[in-house]
Amino acid sequence: MNRRARFLLPLFALALVLGTACAKQEPAAAKVPQRLISLAPSVTETLFALGLGDRVVAVGDYTFWPAEALKKPRVGGLIDPNLERITALRPDLAVLLPSERDIGTKLAPLGVATLIVHNESLADIETSFRTIAARCGVVEAGEKLAAQFHAELAPRPQSPGAAAPKVLMVVERQAGRLGELYAAGPGTYLDELLGRLGGKNVFGDAPNLYPQASLEEIVARKPDLIFELRSDSPDEAARRALIADWQPLATVPAVREGRIRVIAGNFTLIPGPRLPQLYRAMAVALDAP
């Protein structure tokens, strides 16, 4: 071996050692999940809207859309997740909401990874599309869904100087129980949708997201319109009963002028990709004489 070879050989060996060490230190790329579960309807709808329905192996008990999701096994919900059944389905990723974080903690020892997404504000929902898409390897689908969502929820142009109608948004009230209602407050996607349509939330200054509203407060705030938001599909008799409950509050402008709107359907209270459908329904209700 000549002198040059004896000089270079140790350098080659050192480079090999360093290269191997660096390679060991590189983080392994996250495996793209192929078996997904979700419990919240909004997350399930997002997975299917992203074209990931064929990877979904289970959904929550309160899933109603899309039709393909209804064929999937059901594994409980926030209060009663069926961990045994979830494990038997061998998911490699559970997409959860912050309220379901404890479920993720229970799934971790079982080898199920979790992804937590938020869905309270419109920005949260839009971000969740991109976050889920990136984790599942369908980035382009996430960008497309987010862009469409953003465009369909664009603020509606308002006439200069026009007074914003004051709206009370009642969430999932039972007929006959006017004194036990919850209203949409500030920071909710419902509050944001109303604002983009040019309406003013009469409980926009509430201290929490969904305040329990007393009848005295409602009378004092004098809403011009009342939206009864429901996730079921009441028949005409049930709709009339909901409206009739308000008649004792005849001093409220919305009641006096007959401007109580029932907005119902399984798209109404699901903060996911079908919110543009709710946005359009709210616009119609806001404009109706």
What's the pLDDT score for residue 161?
78
Report the 10 Å Cβ neighbour count for 211: 17
What is the predicted pLDDT for the residue at 30? 66
Domains along the chain with CATH numbers: 36-152 (3.40.50.1980), 166-287 (3.40.50.1980)
On the question of pLDDT at 273 being above 90, the answer is yes
Token pair belonging to 63? 């899933």
CA 61 to chain centre: 16
CA dist 154 and 145 (Å) reads: 14
Q: Is residue 28 over pLDDT 50?
A: no
Task: Let me know how long the chain is.
Answer: 289
3-state helix, strand, coil in the chain (%, to 5): 45, 15, 40
Which one has a higher pLDDT value, 24 or 263?
A: 263
The whole-number average pLDDT for the span 79-92 is 92
Residue 116 to residue 125: CA distance in whole angstroms: 12
Rounded CA-CA distance 267/281 in Å is 10
Assess whether pLDDT exceeds 60 at residue 2.
no
Sheet strands (E) in 32-124: 36-38, 56-58, 93-96, 113-116
pLDDT at 258 over 90: yes
Does 43 score more than 50 pLDDT?
Answer: yes
Position 15 pLDDT exceeds 90:
no
Share of the chain above pLDDT 90, in %: 82
Quote the tokens at residue 172: 């999932």
Split at pLDDT 50, 70, 90, the class of 244 is: very high
Q: How many CB atoms lie within 10 A of CB 204?
A: 18
| Average pLDDT score, the chain | 90
Quote the pLDDT of residue 79.
87
Q: What is the pLDDT of residues 141-164, one digit of tens each?
A: 999 999 999 999 999 998 887 889
- At 194-207, the pLDDT tens digits run 999 999 999 999 99
Comparing CA positions, the residue from 240, 214, 231 lying closest to residue 272 is: 231
How many other β-carbons are positioned within 10 Å of the β-carbon of residue 264?
Answer: 20
Give the model confidence (pLDDT) of 93-147 as tens digits: 999 999 999 999 999 998 899 999 999 999 999 999 999 999 999 999 999 999 9
| pLDDT above 90 (res 32) | yes
Helical spans, DSSP H, in 26-159 = 41-49, 83-88, 101-107, 122-135, 139-152
Beta strands in the chain (DSSP E): 36-38, 56-58, 93-96, 113-116, 166-171, 181-182, 200-201, 212-213, 225-230, 260-264
3-state secondary structure of 233: coil
- Top pLDDT among 160 and 225 is at 225
pLDDT of residue 158: 85
Tell me the pairing of strands 181-182 and 212-213: antiparallel
Tokens of 42: 């909004």
**Token couple for 51:** 């074209």
For 242-253, what is the mean pLDDT? 96
